[in-house]
Structure 1
Amino acid sequence: MDFNQIRYFLALADTLNFTRAAEQCFVSQPALTQAIKRLEDELGGELIRRVARENELTDLGKSLRTHFEQIDRTRHLVRSTAKAVNAGEIAELNIGLMCTIGPGVLAPMLEAFHVANPLVSIVLHDVAPDAISDLLLSGVLDGAFCARHGAPHPQLSYVELFEEPLVIAFPENHAFSQMEAVSLRDIAKQQYVERLHCEFREEVLEYYKELDLELEVAFRSQREDWIQGMVRNGVGVCCIPRYSLLRPELDHRPIVDPALSRKVAFATAEQSEQPPALKLLAKMARAHDWPVYASEQQNGPTV
């Protein structure tokens, strides 16, 4: 038994006419008749019989018709599924999300991707910045949203998404709320909550060393949500990427003298052929309407 025999039988069951069934299946009438005969021989009984000048399904044909319809639906489902998989419409992508990138700025793009590709499942993994390249090159991750800081990795490809300023976040009714912008010198006078995953950590510490200043660090943490919680509770102030502020947002101001910003990108391992679903995600990430950093706010060199 093969799919063609089932398809021919269902056409014959609908038309009760060998000629019209053959035309519907785009085969000759003898070919269709022979295929039905082989099917009957395999099943051990007639599926259709001639009564007077008309054809009708036998009891066996009537009994098997529903099962054959189910098989034919499965055939269509298998073919459409295979086509969708090959086109990248059905897949699971493991995507890294650097722990310092806020969900708010990425969520609209990911939602738009889901609407356009509902059969692609995305698993988001919270990853530290220094682990991203190894996870991509080993194949554990298919792609990663990450902050570009320093030289690009030679074995990775990047889709540049947006530039993101760092701001100083502070608790309610803080003195910084009366200022339009805050310098790193101003920050050095405050109790500080330090983000251990901050890309600018070493540069800022070196900057303060050159100025013979020192941060008064009250707490350090790798957890971005804890950092913001401590700032909200009045423990201290913190330099933080603008779009990672959780809602309700902390009060914040631009950092100047020097201004700090980072470039956020979608990274993948360089390879000859990427999964179709990954190509679709990269394409949508490239085309998305990302926020634009007003670089005119910068009053000094970028660290």
Structure 2
Amino acid sequence: MELRHLRYFAAVAEVMNFTKAAARLRVAQPSLSRQVQDLEDEIGVDLLKRSPRGVTLTAEGKLFLAETLETLKRVDESVEKVRALARGEYGELHIGYAPSPTVEVLPPALAAFRYAAPGVKVVLHDLAGDELCEGLHRGRLEIAVMIQPSAESGAGLEFEELKSYPYYVAMAPGHALSKLKSVTVERVATEPLVGLRRLDYSEYYRILDGIFAPHGVRPRIAVECDGASTLIAEIEVGRGIGVVSEVFQRAAGRRLVYRRISNSEEVQRVGIVRAQKGDVTPAGEKFCEILRKISAKEEGKTKRR
């Protein structure tokens, strides 16, 4: 039994006439009659009563027609789902992300993607850098939007840069450094620093090392925080200053004061990370393309400012 047998039988049952059904299906009438007869022979029951005036359904035929229509409906739905999957418009997409660095590009990209592919279920995973890399390696994440991982944690991963942001010193309003237009790395090293927990944010300390080590100084870590919100609060109450990227300012707003680090070329690179041997679905590729367009649009806005 093949699907065409079911489709032929359903067509005949719908119009109750072999000639009309053959015209609709664009097949020869004798061939259609033979195919339906083959179906009845395989099942072992008569589905149709034939007469010179046309055909009618037997009791068995009525039951088989209902089951046939349901089967064909499921087949058609499955075909459409597979085609939608191939177009990136169906399925489930697991995306890892780091909240603060991606605040400029991720929310508008998600909004645009949900509009473009409403049939795709997006599952977001808010994780630290090392956890994002592990998720990509293990296949739990399809892509991640995050800070560029180190050579060690990024082994076997591909990084595509979307945006880069210079680093600033964040401080409470009224701090002595707020009187300066910019601050040197050496001056930052003399102040107590509020940072993130080394255990959970190893990439953050790699960045600090990239800023301070070339100048032969080390940061004075006074407080370690478990997230961006705590870091903002600790700086705001005067526990120390912070080294943050330009995009971080969007999360903290006007609660803090920011001054550019004048003698460091270090930047925070944010982009798309995927496993080199991973399988990114069409939906994932569609989302990546939207991310690129959003990033290019934001870059254009920055240049116009």
Q: TM-score, normalised by structure 1?
A: 0.77
Q: CA deviation at 1:131?
A: 5.8
Q: CA deviation at 1:78?
A: 1.8
Q: Give distance in 2, aligned partners of 1:233 and 1:103.
A: 24
Paired residue for 1:261, among 267, 273, 295? 267
Q: Give distance in 1, aligned partners of 2:118 and 2:109.
A: 14
Paired residue for 2:221, among 217, 221, 236? 217
Q: Give distance in 2, aligned partners of 1:181 and 1:97.
A: 31
In the alignment, structure 2 segments of 5+ residues that lack a partner are: none
- The corresponding residue for 1:252 is 257
What is the DSSP-based 3-state SS (H/G/I as helix, E as strand, rest coil) of the residue aligned with 1:235? coil
Q: CA deviation at 1:10?
A: 1.7
Larger deviation: 171-180 or 231-240?
Answer: 171-180
**Letter of the structure 2 residue corresponding to residue 281 of structure 1:** F
Deviations 1:7-27 (A, max 9, x none): 112211222221221232232
- The corresponding residue for 1:168 is 169
Q: Give distance in 1, aligned partners of 2:115 and 2:182.
A: 39
Q: How many residues align?
A: 294
Q: Give distance in 2, aligned partners of 1:192 and 1:262.
A: 18
- The corresponding residue for 1:48 is 48
**Letter of the structure 2 residue corresponding to residue 203 of structure 1:** G
- The corresponding residue for 1:143 is 143
**2:202 counterpart of 1:202:** no
- The corresponding residue for 1:231 is 235
Q: Give distance in 2, aligned partners of 1:99 and 1:14.
A: 57
Q: CA deviation at 1:109?
A: 1.0
Asked if the contact 2:91–2:120 (Cα under 8 Å) also holds between the matched residues in 1, the reply is yes
Larger deviation: 166-175 or 24-33?
Answer: 166-175
**Letter of the structure 2 residue corresponding to residue 113 of structure 1:** F
Q: TM-score, normalised by structure 2?
A: 0.77
Asked if the contact 1:159–1:282 (Cα under 8 Å) also holds between the matched residues in 2, the reply is no
CA 1:102–1:285: 2 relative to 1, 3 Å: closer
Deviations 1:276-303 (A, max 9, x none): 3333333332233443396999xxxxxx
What is the DSSP-based 3-state SS (H/G/I as helix, E as strand, rest coil) of the residue aligned with 1:288? helix
Q: Give distance in 1, aligned partners of 2:46 and 2:92.
A: 46
**Letter of the structure 2 residue corresponding to residue 123 of structure 1:** V
Asked if the contact 2:102–2:146 (Cα under 8 Å) also holds between the matched residues in 1, the reply is no
**Letter of the structure 1 residue corresponding to residue 229 of structure 2:** D
Q: CA deviation at 1:74?
A: 0.5
Q: Give distance in 1, aligned partners of 2:52 and 2:30.
A: 21
- The corresponding residue for 1:27 is 27
Asked if the contact 1:109–1:285 (Cα under 8 Å) also holds between the matched residues in 2, the reply is yes
CA 1:93–1:236: 2 relative to 1, 3 Å: same
Deviations 1:246-292 (A, max 9, x none): 64623332413225422212122334975433333333322334433
Q: CA deviation at 1:69?
A: 1.6
CA 1:43–1:262: 2 relative to 1, 3 Å: same
CA 1:18–1:87: 2 relative to 1, 3 Å: same
- The corresponding residue for 2:286 is 280
In the alignment, structure 1 segments of 5+ residues that lack a partner are: 298-303
Q: Give distance in 1, aligned partners of 2:281 and 2:105.
A: 25
Q: Give distance in 2, aligned partners of 1:265 and 1:216.
A: 29
- The corresponding residue for 1:84 is 84
Name the Cα RMSD after superposition.
3.6
What is the DSSP-based 3-state SS (H/G/I as helix, E as strand, rest coil) of the residue aligned with 1:226? helix
Asked if the contact 1:149–1:262 (Cα under 8 Å) also holds between the matched residues in 2, the reply is no
What is the DSSP-based 3-state SS (H/G/I as helix, E as strand, rest coil) of the residue aligned with 1:287? helix
**Letter of the structure 2 residue corresponding to residue 229 of structure 1:** A
- The corresponding residue for 1:97 is 97
Q: CA deviation at 1:208?
A: 6.0
Q: CA deviation at 1:147?
A: 2.3
Q: Give distance in 1, aligned partners of 2:125 and 2:278.
A: 24
Alignment identity in percent?
A: 25
Asked if the contact 1:180–1:253 (Cα under 8 Å) also holds between the matched residues in 2, the reply is no
Deviations 1:75-99 (A, max 9, x none): 1012222333344443434433246
**Letter of the structure 2 residue corresponding to residue 157 of structure 1:** E
CA 1:222–1:230: 2 relative to 1, 3 Å: same
Q: Give distance in 2, aligned partners of 1:203 and 1:45.
A: 80
Asked if the contact 1:165–1:241 (Cα under 8 Å) also holds between the matched residues in 2, the reply is yes
